Chain A
Amino acid sequence: MAFFDLFNYWIFIVLMMIGLYTVIVSPNLAKKVIGLSVFQSAIFLFLISLSKVRGGAVPITVPPAELYSNPLPHALVLTAIVVSVSTLAVALAIIINIRQAYGTVEDDEMEKAEGH
């Protein structure tokens, strides 16, 4: 059952590639940013899944248990989510400005507007 043992890594890879593919292929900036979010979420799932210890309890010392899951990756992902949300906010703000300046949020139409 090697496939299911490594299930979390497969999910991570597949989601990451879906995100990256969208970023590369979609000419629409808003969709690019959505792809970026999917890509980053995949990384968060990867980090979270690292913290799971088989048979480990929730990392709270009451009630006492022998084995705990690792709480640190959660803290990391929490920080990374904050970063990701801020990136999303900045990206959307820039896209709104692009829409006002170019009248479109499509990559190819923006290039046409610049006369390339």
Chain B
Amino acid sequence: MQSHLPALIVIIPLLVALVLPMLGRGHKPWFLATLATWGVFAMTIALELQVSGLARDPSAPQTFLSYPIGNWRIPWGIEFRVDALNIFILLVIAMVSAVVTFYARLSIGSSIPPERIRFFYAAWLLFITGLLGVTMSGDIFNVYVLIEVSALASYTLVAMGRYQSRKALSGSINYLVLGTIGASFFLIGVGYLYSVTGTLNMADLADRLEPLHDNRAVITAFAFLLVGLSVKMALFPLHGWLPDAHGYAPPIVSALLSGVAIKVGAYVMIRLIFSVLGVEFSFVKLPTGPVLWVLASLAILLGSYTAIQQTSLKRLLAYSSVAQIGYIALGFSLANENGLTGSLIHIFNHALMKSGLFLVAGIISYRLGEADLNRLAGLGRKMPFTMAALTAGGLGLIGVPLTSGFISKWYLVTGAIERGLIPLAVVILLGSILALIYVWKVVEIVYFKPVSDLAREVTEAPWSLVLPAWTLIGASLYFGVDASLSSSLAQRAARLLLAQP
């Protein structure tokens, strides 16, 4: 029997998003949005069981799940194709968005006027729809459209931060201009690929591009696609839009943007480099590897260095995301199993840590207004649970053993050494030292400074805020101790991409 899960995962949040603006005020929009995201999460788990069942079953004709939309024959129709790689990314998106949406009620209720809240949740679900769709789609033009669906929703979501600071508006318009240029570059690349192959289905493209690797149009297409996606994933030096957009958006929007949205850009890049154009073309024929090594190293070092100088917690976290994207790009540009596994597992681990940390930043703004670093002074005694989450997440960013950050860095360093690239291993370790400095800066203010006048009356935040933050941070700690589940999923995807059994 044909499983309809791939279509349902995208359609349910899409339809719910259309219903939400009709619901009026109160908690109904939040409740329905939470229900939808948890439903998507449950369906994603069911889908993962189906896909891993296919992989284990030797009699199955293929190791992926193909869903032709509207039953149009592939490659003419649009295909949703779920394999070991994108089910992994889907799980990350579904899990983080479910937890963050549950958290949203108080956080959004306190930062957006009541009559706007239903529109917020509508845009929020459209954003998640886009992310899920990009990840599942097997049609490259469809990927472009869904990238823009999620991006357009995210521009409006960032602009909703204007009730706190008008800088959210300028951050949003910058994000829009750069994001649109990035997506348009992607579209030009799609056009070039279509002009030489006459197909848009990614699996079909991969077959037809094989004899065309010397074609100049293909090389041009590759350049446009890579640059376009670099903007979307905020790879240095195209990260200019990120700090303002992530720094001034409402906290839960930053959590999903930093935790998941830029990872989806990274996923599309991995998909193109490894599945569509192939390792041979990307790394042997063209010098993609060295270019990405340099950019990723600069992202790690400069991103972390700039994070140290920030005075606002959210901007500090945003610059840290620039650095973390560097780790992800570094991992897959090594093009070996450990590097790629490290990259994928870091997508997973960083999604948990960074979303958790932005939720903590949201708790602080819920209690104190703006999450400026000076205002955090002495909060360690006032809000012990929240601040413990902040510290635990920070330790993960550094990559201390027994946190999940350590697992990803372990794979990345192993991958770099296997390739004989000792300088890259050194960059990864230097990045951890810089992370230690910016995390320590926060921890010192939180635990060792006297309580400021502002924070004198502050008490621990309500559990409906602390619990989701701790769920994400706690999960990141759990996957640091017992990484068997996350690393086996990441490894399976890495082997699929490198066409190893």
A-to-B contact residues, CB < 8 Å: 20, 23, 29, 32-33, 36, 39-40, 43, 46-47, 50, 70, 73, 76, 79-80, 83, 86-87, 90-91, 93-95, 97-98, 101-102, 110, 114
Contact = CB atoms under 8 A, between A and B. Distances in A.
Interface stretch (B107-115, B180-188, B250-258, B367-375): B180-188
Interface of B: 141, 144-145, 148, 152, 155-156, 159, 162, 166-167, 169-170, 172-173, 176-177, 180-181, 183-184, 187-188, 191, 194-195, 198
Contacts of B191: 43, 46-47, 50, 73
28 contacts: A23-B177, A23-B181, A29-B173, A36-B181, A43-B184, A43-B188, A47-B187, A47-B194, A50-B194, A70-B198, A73-B191, A73-B194, A79-B141, A80-B145, A83-B148, A87-B152, A87-B176, A90-B176, A91-B155, A91-B176, A94-B155, A94-B159, A94-B176, A95-B173, A97-B159, A97-B162, A97-B169, A102-B170
Central interface residue in B141, B148, B176, by most chain A CB within 10 Å: B176
Q: For chain B, what secondary structure do more than half of its interface residues adopt (helix, strand, loop), or is it mixed? A: helix
Contacts of A70: 198
Contacts of A110: 170
Contacts of A46: 188, 191
A20 B188 CA distance: 14
A82 to B, nearest CB: 9
Contact of A94 (B145, B172, B180): B172
A46 B152 CA distance: 24
Given A32-B177, A98-B173, 19 more contacts: A23-B177, A23-B181, A36-B177, A39-B184, A47-B187, A47-B191, A50-B194, A83-B148, A86-B148, A90-B156, A91-B173, A94-B172, A94-B173, A97-B159, A97-B162, A98-B169, A101-B169, A102-B166, A102-B169
B357 to A, nearest CB: 26
A80 to B, nearest CB: 6
Nearest to A33: B177
A43 B192 CA distance: 11
Contacts of A79: 141, 145
A90 B145 contact: no
Q: Which 3 A-B pairs have the closest CB atoms?
A: A101-B166, A83-B148, A98-B169
Contacts of B198: 70
A87 B148 contact: yes
A95 B177 CA distance: 12
B187 to A, nearest CB: 6
A82 B422 CA distance: 48
B145 A83 contact: yes
B70 to A, nearest CB: 14
Nearest to B151: A87
Contacts of A95: 173
